[in-house]
Amino acid sequence: MRAIKFVSLLSLFFMAPFCANAQNADGIELPQDWSASVDADRNVSLQYNGNYRVKNVKVRFENKEVSPKVTMQKLRDDLVQFAPNVPNNSYGEVKSYQYYSNSAGHGKKVRVLLPPNYDKNKKYPVLFVLHGIFGDENSMLDGSMGVQKMIANAISEGLTKDMIVIFPQMYTSPKGDQPSGFAFDQETMRYYDMFENDLLEDLLPWAKQQFSIAEGRKNTAITGFSLGGREALYIGSQHTDVFGFVGAACPAPGILPTQDQFMVYEGTIKNEADFRLKDGNPEPYILLISGGTNDGTVGNYPEQYHNVLKNNNVDHVWHSISGTGHDGSSVQPHMYNFIRHIFNVE
147 and 237 inside one domain = yes
Do 98 and 110 touch, CB atoms closer than 8 A? yes
The number of folded domains in the chain is 2
Q: Does the structure show a pLDDT above 60 at 8?
A: no
| Residue 203 belongs to domain with CATH number | 3.40.50.1820
14 and 106 inside one domain = no
Quick: pLDDT tens for 109-137: 999 999 999 999 999 999 999 999 999 99
Judge whether 126 lies within some domain.
yes
Q: Does the structure show a pLDDT above 70 at 259?
A: yes
Query: Picking from 30-39, 67-76, 117-126, 193-202, which range would have the lowest pLDDT averaged per residue?
Result: 30-39
pLDDT band at 39 (very low <50, low <70, confident <90, very high): low
Which residue, of 11, 44, 63, is where some domain finishes? 63
What pairing do the DSSP bridges indicate for beta strands 286-292 and 264-265? Answer: unpaired
Which residue, of 17, 47, 63, is where some domain finishes? 63
Q: Which domain holds residue 316?
A: 68-339
- C-alpha torsion 82→251→237→314, nearest 10: 70
245 and 154 inside one domain = yes
Write down the pLDDT at residue 2. 43
Judge whether 344 lies within some domain.
no
Give the helix ranges, DSSP H, for 157-299.
Answer: 186-193, 195-197, 204-210, 227-238
Write down the pLDDT at residue 191. 94
Judge whether 304 lies within some domain.
yes
Distance CA 110, CA 139 (A): 11
126 and 183 inside one domain = yes
Contacts of 169 (CB under 8 A, 6+ apart): 108, 109, 110, 131, 136, 137, 177
Phi-psi category of residue 46: left, alpha or beta, with phi > 0 → left and psi -120 to 50 → alpha: beta
46 and 75 inside one domain = no
pLDDT band at 23 (very low <50, low <70, confident <90, very high): very low
287 and 173 inside one domain = yes
224 and 308 inside one domain = yes
Sign of CA dihedral 70, 72, 76, 79: positive
142 and 116 inside one domain = yes
58 and 176 inside one domain = no
R_g of the chain computed on alpha carbons: 23
Q: How many CB atoms lie within 10 A of CB 198?
A: 21
6 and 149 inside one domain = no
Judge whether 310 lies within some domain.
yes
Judge whether 346 lies within some domain.
no
48 and 191 inside one domain = no
Quick: pLDDT tens for 57-84: 555 545 567 899 999 999 999 999 998 8
What is the percent of the chain where pLDDT is above 90?
73
Judge whether 197 lies within some domain.
yes
Judge whether 292 lies within some domain.
yes
Judge whether 132 lies within some domain.
yes
pLDDT: which is higher, 172 or 1? 172
Do 177 and 171 touch, CB atoms closer than 8 A? yes
Which residue, of 17, 37, 63, is where some domain finishes? 63
54 and 151 inside one domain = no
Quick: pLDDT tens for 293-338: 999 999 999 999 999 999 999 999 999 999 999 999 999 999 999 9
What is the percent of the chain where pLDDT is above 70?
81
